[in-house]
Amino acid sequence: MNAGPKSGPLAAPSQKAARSARDKAAPASTPATERVKLPKSPGFMVRRLHQVFVASFHQKLEPLGLTPAQVTLLSIVRVNPAIDQVSLAAEAVLDTSTVADVVRRMAERGLVKREAGVVDKRTRTVSLTPEGHKVLAQAQILVHDARTQLMAPLSGAELEQFLGLLERLLVAHENGSSPWSRLIEPEKAG
């Protein structure tokens, strides 16, 4: 009664090598999984909706070569000409090193200009260039279109209610008690 070639720890070295090579070359296929109904977890749902929004905005902004973060920063700079980079980071709720990198890339493209601060020469202020104003105007149209498409499933009243609830949650958690409150306060030297 021959059960065929041995497998496992007693298998011949050549059989082990062949099996090892075969296993590496063709990983075992995973069986089809049943679609899982995801829980109505606020954290999961907000994160997933954020992913959908970001993907949509990236797609819409691609022809302009902009990212959603760049449009956010350009929009803040338009309203606050000559804003310093630390204040810009705080306003955008982004860390200062990320903002410095994004601003540097936008300056290289000619969308913003950076200058030494008037009071403190160590600070860098950021202002839009004429090209930055032009590109931002185009981007705002694309962002509006994306937002309109994304929110289309909601009626006007539902949209108002949804935005009101989001705002209430943000205000409740932006009062310094949340784990990320350090991100909304400008960094302090020293």
| Within-domain flag for 18 | no
| Within-domain flag for 3 | no
Q: Are 123 and 84 in contact (CB under 8 A)?
A: yes
pLDDT digits (tens, 9 = 90+) for 22-65: 555 555 556 666 766 777 888 888 999 999 999 999 999 999 99
pLDDT digits (tens, 9 = 90+) for 78-93: 999 999 999 999 999 8
pTM: 0.70
Alpha carbons 189 and 38: distance in angstroms, whole number: 44
- Indicate which CATH number applies to the domain containing 142: 1.10.10.10
How far separated are the first and last CA of the chain, in Å rounded?
Answer: 81
| Within-domain flag for 185 | no
Q: Which domain range does residue 129 map to? A: 50-172
* Number of independent structural domains in the chain: 1
Query: Which two three-digit tokens encode residue 106?
Result: 């936008």
pLDDT digits (tens, 9 = 90+) for 53-70: 999 999 999 999 999 999
Q: Which helix (H) or strand (E) holds 83?
A: strand 83-84
| Within-domain flag for 153 | yes
pLDDT at 103: 96
Alpha carbons 53 and 170: distance in angstroms, whole number: 18
pLDDT at 25: 53
| Within-domain flag for 189 | no
DSSP string, 130-172: HHHHHHHHHHHHHHHHHHHHHHTTS-HHHHHHHHHHHHHHHHH
| Within-domain flag for 188 | no
Residues in the chain: 190
| Within-domain flag for 154 | yes
Alpha carbons 71 and 132: distance in angstroms, whole number: 10
Q: In what order do the strands lie in the sheet with 112-116?
A: 83-84, 124-128, 112-116
| Within-domain flag for 143 | yes
